[in-house]
Amino acid sequence: MAVKPSSERSKQPRRKKAPLQSKHELRSDAPLSLDRIVATAVELLDAEGIEGLTMRRLAARLEAGAMSLYWHVGNKEEVFDLALDQVLEYRRPLQNSAPEDWRKELVHMLEDWRASMLRHPWSASLLPRRALGPNILGRLELLSETLSRAGVADEDLNVAIWSLWNFVIGATITRANFDRSDEDRAAAQQRLTHLAESYPTIGRSRLLLDSDWDGTFRKGLDVLLDGLSTR
Amino acid sequence: MAVKPSSERSKQPRRKKAPLQSKHELRSDAPLSLDRIVATAVELLDAEGIEGLTMRRLAARLEAGAMSLYWHVGNKEEVFDLALDQVLEYRRPLQNSAPEDWRKELVHMLEDWRASMLRHPWSASLLPRRALGPNILGRLELLSETLSRAGVADEDLNVAIWSLWNFVIGATITRANFDRSDEDRAAAQQRLTHLAESYPTIGRSRLLLDSDWDGTFRKGLDVLLDGLSTR
DNA sequence: ATTCGCATCGTACAGTGTACGAGTCAATTG
DNA sequence: CAATTGACTCGTACACTGTACGATGCGAAT
């Protein structure tokens, strides 16, 4: 009886090491592993977006049969979970910074977070429905730790963490969303001028048109951090 | 040649008014309109979640053929757009409040926003991919207007709006997400204690376990508003 | 030589969104 | 009154999806 690994980590197949072809079947190059599957899924998502990822297409890119994937992965949802978490890996910069640099560290991590997700716009729309992978948890842990080290009292910690997390998530999702829907700037522009009558303040502030997303993110973050550190 | 309305608003069918049955076909009750479709879609989403909504099931609930829906609606995506916006309608409380109550008004609208989305948890996961419907824009407009009336300078307006928006979106998505994934508390609990080794600070703060979501939301909002008003 | 467990994959099935075109029926026109 | 139009409904069909099931191959252990 065969038992699938599926979600037990730490399990690499030990196959033939050197012998690259058996008989005459020079099966391109592929041993087909979880890592390869996830990496290819990210590629495919980058290239074709969320609807572009189907098990058959993914398998084709791996030069494998569609059902072969199911040995390594429980179902399609799991592929999404893994792809999302993979994209959110974070290596903290080397620890030579002074302990009062906590704010710089935080901003660095949070801006990197946002940047990572914007580099893979599908990740933003995926986030709401996915489980917390190790990389996401790692970022949360780093966040808690840094805030705690910065002197935030334990009873205020959760508010601080969630406020920052919420802000990053919201900003990223919004931004990623606007990027795509403005593929057709022309249509958007026209829609906006038509809307200016019903929504005058939005129209005046040009909120939807030429927001400086990066600057807005940075400033909003400052507002939050100011508020948190004076508490 | 027939021309579909599909996305031209202001178009109600004028049919037989009083005569409820023609001949002997007492066709239950259904004239099948955009409004009825959207309302039923929301019902279905509430009952079965995002994957539960299929065109065939929706049609069945309306006692109509599946393809009949496509006269009123361009495609399934549009159904999602409309359902989402429908759920986000907001009636501002009567305008008897003093002008310095802007902060109370803001908090009311934002908490109502979050509450509306949590009442229909699918809406949170839908938000990232959807267009801005009139109700969403209405809320944005109200937000701008109130902040502007509160004396926020025009050049700070966008930062303020987006910060609040981001916060609400992020908080709601996170919350809705956790609700679902904790259907099986037992599993979550066990996972958490196992994780406590790798993520000590998260474990200590019990961040994922017993957060007071409503309180955290309210406090985070205060932090933001404090930060914004002292600028 | 036989067994066993890992790994791959072909076939099949139920279900999806929707294109197409035929159908119904009230209102309008000649 | 007959004919035409146009709003609306819906049955059938097609390409495509995720994945259950079982057959197959293969290296290592017995």
Residue B143 contacts by C-beta under 8 Å, 6 or more apart in sequence? Answer: B106, B109, B161, B164, B165
DSSP 8-state code for residue A25:
B
Region of poorest pLDDT, from A31-35, A174-178, B9-13, B57-61: B9-13
What is the pLDDT of chain A when averaged over all its residues?
Answer: 83
> Above 90 in pLDDT, residue B119?
yes
Which range, A113-122, A130-139, A142-151, is most confident?
A113-122
* Cα-based distances in Å from B98 to B92, B94, B101, B149: 14, 11, 6, 12
List, for residues A138-174, the tens digit of each pLDDT value.
Answer: 999 999 999 998 888 888 899 999 999 999 999 999 8
What is the spatial distance between Cα A211 and Cα B27, in angstroms, rounded to a whole number? 52
Q: Please name the amino acid found at residue B65.
A: G
pLDDT for A184 = 55
Contact criterion met (CB < 8 Å) for A201 and B228: no
pLDDT confidence bin for B181, thresholds 50/70/90: low
Return the higher-pLDDT residue of B204 and A122.
A122
Is A151 at the interface with chain B, CB within 8 A?
Answer: no
Could you say which residues from 165 to 184 on chain B have a Cβ atom under 8 Å away from some Cβ of chain A? 165-171, 173-174, 176-177, 181
CB pair distance less than 8 Å for B167 and A170: yes
Positions in chain C where some atom is under 7 Å from a protein CB: 5-11, 15-23, 25-27
Q: Is the pLDDT of residue A67 over 70?
A: yes
Most confident of A12-16, A66-70, A207-211, B157-161: A66-70
A162 and B211 Cβ atoms separated by less than 8 Å: yes
For residues B41-46, average pLDDT: 98
Of B2-6, B134-138, B176-180, least confident by mean pLDDT is B2-6
- List where CATH 1.10.10.60 sits in chain A: 34-87
Cα B100 to chain centroid, rounded: 29
pLDDT category, A20, cuts 50, 70, 90? very low
> What distance in Å separates residue A92's CA from the closest CA in chain B?
15
- Evaluate if residue B180 carries a pLDDT over 70: no
Percent with pLDDT over 90 in chain B? 53
Instruction: Find the Å distance, CA of residue B26 to C1' of nucleotide D3.
Output: 29
Per-residue model confidence (pLDDT) at position A171: 94
Positions of CATH 1.10.357.10 in chain B: 99-229
**Average pLDDT estimate for B48-60:** 97
* Disruptive mutation site among B90, B129, B137 for chain A (greatest number of A CBs within 10 Å): B129
Lowest mean pLDDT among A79-93, B28-42, B64-78: B28-42
Distance between CA atoms of residues A223 and B57, nearest Å: 47
Res. A11: pLDDT tops 80: no
Give the whole-angstrom CA distance, residue A114 versus residue A167.
Answer: 10
CATH domain B34-87 topology: Arc Repressor Mutant, subunit A (1.10.10)
Task: For residue B15, give the nucleotide whose C1' atom is nearest its CA.
Answer: C26
Q: Of B220, B211, B201, B210, which Cα lies nearest the Cα of A148?
A: B201
Tell me what pLDDT residue A181 has: 65
Percent of chain A with pLDDT over 90: 52
Q: What is the mean pLDDT of residues A77-92?
A: 95
**Residue B183 confidence (pLDDT):** 55
* Reported confidence tier of residue A207, pLDDT bands at 50, 70, 90: confident
Neighbour tally for A141: CB within 10 Å: 19
Stronger pLDDT, A151 or B113, i.e. the higher one: B113
Mark which residues 63-122 of A lie under 8 Å from B by CB: none
**What is A99-229's CATH number?**
1.10.357.10
Distance CA B117, CA A221 (A): 24
What gap in Å lies between CA A181 and CA B128, rounded to an integer? 11
Structure token digits, residue A5: 């690994």
By three-state DSSP, how is residue A183 classified?
Answer: coil
Helix crossing, A34-48 with A76-87: angle to 10°? Answer: 80
Alpha-carbon distances, residue B50 vs A206, B44, B80, B170 (angstroms): 33, 9, 9, 19
Q: Is the pLDDT higher at B204 or at B159?
A: B159
